[in-house]
A and B are shown apart, each in its own frame.
Chain A
Amino acid sequence: MSAADDISTILSSGIRLTVPLAFAACGEYLAERAGTMNISLEAMMLGAAFGSVATASATGSATTGLVAGVLIGLLIGFVHGNLAHRLEVNTFVVGLVLNALVLGLTSYLITISSFDSHQVSQVSVPWLRDIPLIGHPLFVERWPVYLLLLVIPLTWWLVERSRWGLELRAVGEQPQAADVTGIRVNLRRRQALLWCGALAGLGGAYLAVGEVGSFNQNMTAGRGYIVIAAVIFGAWRLGRTLLGCVLFGLADAMRLALPALGLTMNSQLLVVAPYLLALLAMLVFTTRNREPKALGQPFVRGST
């Protein structure tokens, strides 16, 4: 009995830890396919987490908070896009500065204010929730979790099947050629960052008003970087990226469950697993062949 319970507990906490990663991963995946190595993902998630809690507290509605989180993610994506793909400031510099800015700002604001706790409601799917082992973890969740069922196929369709996605991929692989065919490279990259911001915002907001119900200082604690690791681990393929998210979410759940299970395992190894796996994926497998060719490079018409 206890073994099955343990597995079920780890599964449910693993899924809850995976969901914010999965939302953000869909966004980051799309931004990277368009050629932006977006490290301000952390800022997007953290800012959205704070904004959602503040808004939920002000309006008394967790759902409004969720929407506010998405808007804050969009705002950060907008700022990043305009600085990096309009003003041509180095994208990594923009990311670093935005991360520092949002971390400082949210830490500052949470220290001087207090918010009421609000959480979005839980959905419990009848019949399915009674499946042993996986029933409870998968089918008793806060409702935004099920938005993933919409977001994942939509992201896939946008990138792989829509004209917009085709242009995004062209912009990520061969911006010069894309430019010659009349695609506005930097515009497409800004649009990709908006999508990324909205989804990272959703992930951050889900973490705050879905999972926890409150905000604490540096709440995302590097989850944005884990998502970046997941996209690399997934070799810029959506399915594998999401698999990476599940893996990293479960590793995190394992780490949290270790003391309760009475296991003595190296918790540092579990924390570091996402980063090591991402590095290994790039080193050992030939995933870099799948890397968008222009990833992280600014596009300036006429240079090179």
Chain B
Amino acid sequence: MNEREDLGSGDVLRRLLSNLNPGPSGWRTGAATILALLVALTLSSLLIAVTGGSPVASVEALFQGSMSDLTAWSSTLLYAAPLLLVAVGACVSARSGLFNIGQEGQVLIGALAAAWVGLRLAITGPLLIVVMLLAAGLAAGGWAGLSSLMYRLRGVNVVVSTLLMTFVAQQIVAYAVNTPWLLQESRIGNAIVSPQSNPLPSSALLGSIGEYPGLQINAGLIIALIAAVLIAVAISRTTWGFKITMLGRNPLAAKHAGVRVTALGGAALAVSGAFAGLAGAVLLASPVGVNRLQPGLSMNIGWDGLLVALVARNRPLAAMPVALLFGVLRSGGGFLAATGVPSFLVDVVKALLVLAFVAPPVVVALARRRRSGDRTAGARREAAPVAEEAIA
């Protein structure tokens, strides 16, 4: 997607900047993106104004809830961590050409596995949280791997199966927290039991650096940042990353070049699931929160993380600031209601932002192709190719 990423040898900052480069079509795409962003923001403001709210007050509320002081920053970072983890995974699968859209379910499966380990296994000390994270990654990776298995054995479309598996995962978690012998909370006296698990023991929680009311850097964020850097390096510096990119760009060429297409594609899908699962464990074991497995635990983090990856155009390092932005929208959204603007506004803004980032490169590429009459340029489009049929 970004040539400089494959060739460059600069420092981290320069690489980060090069990752923010909107794409190969250069300034034209950049200009189109900025234009689209302006349109998106104008539309959002119009929506607020037309419905009787104040756009300025809304921006202030968003700022207050997310960035005004260190406590607000802490809550923003708390949201950003699982978003980034999901997005990093989504980058891997989208780059390999196997488009995984089942992160919402994979987050839940990861949380389910982590909750089971945290509540049912008698592991003491810091080892517990490590095993929880591993279990979450393995379970969700396996869950996503099922989709790749279905594709390999029976040719089931990966997008469709990951989508359908999301709803299966939701019901599995609902079943687990409604079933006493699985994970439903234990009855104390005659109290009514809710569909949720017992709270995790304190040894099963992720810690954080810094104390309330100062800035709290939660451990999940550190995990997510490490994951993003590792995957960025793996994609741009290792043979594995090269093969993944080759597979995504042209599966047939990859096959002829000796890439073990099914194994690699399956691995990419499993890796993306594993990161979503990690996000689930991070949500569950978050230093702030109820620390119980609940059916609504994923809070659309899976869907949003996928959107983060789309905005970042499948670049893990670019996903860092985007995840932060989405975290800002989430933590600021809670403050919107006070200004009379429903917090659902942030969902509208998010969707418009994604459109503003996804459409321009495609439009620019299309316009260039139309102009030059170069019909074959279509194969080099920026959008993640869903070219699964050739992998079989």
Asked if B386 contacts A297 (CB within 8 A), the reply is yes
Asked if A108 contacts B156 (CB within 8 A), the reply is no
Closest B residue by C-beta to A286? B154
Complex interface: chain A residues within 8 A of B386 (CB): 90, 92, 296-298
The reply on A4 being an interface residue by CB < 8 A is no
Q: Roughly how many angstroms separate A111 CA and B172 CA in the complex, as a whole number? A: 31
Asked if A302 contacts B344 (CB within 8 A), the reply is no
Q: A104-B348, A279-B150 are in contact. Are A272 and B167 (CB under 8 A)?
A: yes
Which one of A68-76, A81-89, A165-173 contacts B?
A81-89
Partner of B344, one of A96, A107, A266, A269: A107
CB distance from A256 to the nearest CB of B (A): 16
Asked if A88 contacts B366 (CB within 8 A), the reply is yes
- Classify the secondary structure of A's interface with B: helix
**Count of chain B residues with a beta carbon within 8 Å of a chain A beta carbon:** 55
The reply on A268 being an interface residue by CB < 8 A is yes
Q: Roughly how many angstroms separate A83 CA and B348 CA in the complex, as a whole number? A: 18
Closest A residue by C-beta to B150? A283
Asked if A103 contacts B347 (CB within 8 A), the reply is yes
Asked if B366 contacts A87 (CB within 8 A), the reply is yes
Asked if B375 contacts A229 (CB within 8 A), the reply is no
Which one of B113-121, B225-233, B272-280, B377-385 contacts A?
B377-385
Asked if B167 contacts A275 (CB within 8 A), the reply is yes
Asked if B150 contacts A90 (CB within 8 A), the reply is no
Asked if B344 contacts A100 (CB within 8 A), the reply is no
Complex interface: chain A residues within 8 A of B150 (CB): 279, 282-283
CB distance from A273 to the nearest CB of B (A): 9
Complex interface: chain B residues within 8 A of A296 (CB): 157, 159-160, 386
Asked if A104 contacts B351 (CB within 8 A), the reply is yes
Asked if B378 contacts A300 (CB within 8 A), the reply is yes
- Interface range for A: 35 or more
Asked if A100 contacts B350 (CB within 8 A), the reply is yes
Partner of A97, one of B345, B355, B363, B381: B355
The reply on B253 being an interface residue by CB < 8 A is no
Asked if A111 contacts B344 (CB within 8 A), the reply is yes
Complex interface: chain B residues within 8 A of A300 (CB): 378-379, 381
CB distance from A275 to the nearest CB of B (A): 5
Asked if A39 contacts B163 (CB within 8 A), the reply is yes
Q: Can you list, as one digit per residue, whether each of A253-297 has a CB less than 8 Å from chain B (1) or not (0)?
A: 000000000000010110110011011001100001001010111
Asked if B352 contacts A37 (CB within 8 A), the reply is no
The reply on A303 being an interface residue by CB < 8 A is yes
Given contacts A283-B150, A297-B387, A302-B375, 13 further A-B contacts (CB under 8 A): A90-B99, A92-B101, A100-B347, A104-B350, A108-B348, A112-B52, A222-B167, A225-B167, A232-B164, A269-B175, A282-B160, A293-B389, A304-B379
The residues of B with any CB-CB pair to A shorter than 8 Å are 47, 51-52, 99, 101, 150, 153-157, 159-161, 163-165, 167-168, 171-172, 174-175, 178, 303, 306-307, 310, 340, 342, 344-348, 350-352, 354-355, 358-359, 362-363, 366, 375-376, 378-379, 381, 383-384, 386-387, 389
> Can you report 20 residue pairs joining A to B where beta carbons are below 8 Å apart?
A37-B157, A83-B359, A88-B383, A92-B99, A93-B384, A96-B101, A96-B306, A97-B355, A100-B307, A101-B348, A105-B344, A107-B342, A222-B167, A271-B167, A279-B150, A282-B154, A282-B160, A283-B154, A288-B155, A293-B389
A-B pairs with lowest CB-CB distance, top 8: A104-B347, A302-B375, A300-B378, A101-B351, A111-B342, A107-B344, A108-B344, A272-B171
